[in-house]
Structure 1
Amino acid sequence: HFDEAGVIVRVADPSLLVLWDAHDWYELFWRERAAWQDGRIDVAVFGHALLEHALTPGKLLVGKALVVAADRATAWESIVAALAERIAFGELLRDPLELRPLPLSGIPGWHPDNGEEAFHHEAPCYQPLRAGRRYPVALALPI
């Protein structure tokens, strides 16, 4: 999953992770729009299929995310290196359930319609949390 639809998410504000864990997409993407613009949460796309699908205008994209709890000043290079090391040692990505779904289309600027509040009430890429589904704790740097 990670090579096809993978994204790495750096989260500096733990309250955003609470919204994400609850699949409270409206709050995460509409009410907290500023967080996606001021660096309290940001994304690096890894999956090649996501990059290919991004060429299709209007497509509703959902990535599979590894989440790192790190300060905004933490360099992406150090995050990627730390994750690569954990993957290489078999400590990470042993189970697809380690990945969180992230509707990329909700991130400000990713989809032409997400600047409208109605998008965040009705977008089919926003799925509810499945009963019993729990996500792993965000990896903290240094990891």
Structure 2
Amino acid sequence: MEFELIETIPAKNDFMKLHKTTGWNANGLYTYDQLYSAICNSWFSVSIYHNKNLIGFGRIISDGVYQTFICDVMVHPEYQKQGMGKKIMSALLKKCEEEGIKWIQLSCAKGKQNFYKKLGFVERDLDAPGMSLFL
């Protein structure tokens, strides 16, 4: 199989097609125009293609100094458990290293904690959990 990892935002239709495989927008909280606008405002992103089809994506939101958040790491279900997520994360972490960023945060989908633990991420202490607010 030939895979190509490139540091770019994918075409909108390609992104929408891949994103739909995640089920993350099942409630229609955002339009795909909004989601695409969001990824276009990323500090850094990578896309993986197989035979010119987008099969993986990940991005970083950051101020470029100390607040860094990895998000939207996704791999098409047909390509999961083949090292694609690791390739995406390696590229994202490499960019952080190159820029001297020392603290990297992320949230992950349910059941994906062990994947990130294998990459060195640790869960926050129970007495210092992250928080969120939906408006």
TM-score by length of 2: 0.31
- Report which of the two has the higher share of strand: 2
